[in-house]
Amino acid sequence: MDETRRAFLEDLLAARGPSGHETAAQRAWVEYVGEYADRVETDAYGNAVAVHEGGDTSVAFAGHADEIGFAVSEISGDGFLRISPVGGLDKTVTRGSQIRIETDDGPVNGVVGQAAVHLRGKKDEGVPSVTEQHVDIGAADEDEARDLVSVGDPGIVVAETQDLAGSRLNARGLDNRAGLWVAAEGFRRAVANDVDATVYAVSTVQEELGTKGAKMVAFDLDADAVVAVDVTHAADDPNYPADRASEVALGDGPTVTRGAANHPEVVAELREAAENGDLPLQVEAQRLTTGTDADAFFTAQGGVPTANLGVPNRYMHTPAEVVDTADLTAGADLLAAFAARASDRDSFAVEF
C-alpha cells in the first residue's frame, strides 16, 4: 500500500462515526473519491454515491461508513453517565476502556468504570450489560456533567491505530473502514484503467443498525450488479470457535461467499477475475444471511445480482480488530478487474 492510499485509510480510521453519526467518515470518503468521480451524490441521511460514467453495463462497489458505538442515555446526580449500545457493542470490552463522546461543542473524553482487581471478589466477576456500566468523564456533579454532555450524544471506544508485524494492522473501526477503503480504491483503480463500464462507489450509513442506509440507496441505484465489501471473520487465531468451520485466514486475500444472497453469476465473475489476474481470493460458505449490506441490495427492485466480498478480520467488534493490508490491496485490484470484465456482459441474470 503506497503512502497516499495508506493516508486515506488512516483518515477513514481517524474519523469517528457511530451509526447515525457518520458525517466525519463520509466527509473523508467523499473528499477522496471526488477526485476521480464524474460526480458524487448524497441523500438526506448521508449515504454517498460516486459515479464514473462509462458504458451501458453498470456495477457498484459498496461499503458502510458507520461503526459500533453508544449513546449517552442518563446523567446521574453524582455526575456519572449511563450509556446504551448503538450496534453490536460488546459488554466484555467496554468496561475499563477509554471512550470519546461527540458533543455539539466538541469531543469529551471519559472512561467506563471498572473496579480494581484488588477490590473485586468472585461474586463480582460477571460482566454487567453495557447499560449497567457507568461512565466517568471527571465531572464533580450532575451540573458539571450536563454542561459537558447531553443525553443522546454519541460516542465510541477509543483505541490507537497501530502496525503489527508484516502488513498486519490493528485499529478500532476496521469494521468497516477496511471494506469502505476497498470499495473506494476499487472504484479509483477502475477509473484509472478507463474501464468501459459505468462504475458506482457507494458509502452507506447505519449498516450496524440493520443495513438501513443500503436499503435507502438500493431503492433507486441503477446497477446491473453490486459487490458489497465488508469484513468477515478470520478463523486463524486461537479464539476462533471450533464449532464454526471456516478456512478464512489473514493474508490469503479477500473472500467471496457462495450461497444465499450471493448471486452465482457475480460470484463466478469475481472468481474468474481473480484467477485470470493471478489475484488471491478465498471462498467461504454462506450461512443464513451475509449480515452485510448485500442482504439489502440483493432484494431491491425485484432483485439485483449481488455478492459479498469479505476482508478477513480478527476480533471483530472490539478495539483489537486486526486485518492484513495486503488483503485490502488485493480486494481493490479484484474489484477493478471485475469492473473491466463486466463491460463485456449485457446482463448478470441466471440463464436457464
Mention every residue, 6+ apart, whose C-beta is less than 8 A from residue 164: 170, 322
Report how far residue 228's alpha carbon sits from residue 75's, in angstroms, rounded to the nearest whole number: 39
Annotated binding residue at 64?
yes
Would you call 344 helix, strand, or coil by DSSP? coil
Cell reading at 214: 443500503
Cell reading at 329: 490491496
Annotated binding residue at 278?
no
Would you call 345 helix, strand, or coil by DSSP? coil
Report how far residue 185's alpha carbon sits from residue 201's, in angstroms, rounded to the nearest whole number: 9
Catalytic residue among 22, 185, 207, 321: 207
Is residue 207 part of the annotated active site? The answer reads yes
Mention every residue, 6+ apart, whose C-beta is less than 8 A from residue 6: 325
Give strand pairing partners of 162.
170
End-to-end CA separation in angstroms for the chain:
42
Report how far residue 127's alpha carbon sits from residue 95's, in angstroms, rounded to the nearest whole number: 8
Annotated binding residue at 275?
no
**Could you give the residue numbers annotated as active site?**
207
Mark the binding-site residues for Zn(2+), compressed into ranges: 64, 175, 208, 230, 317
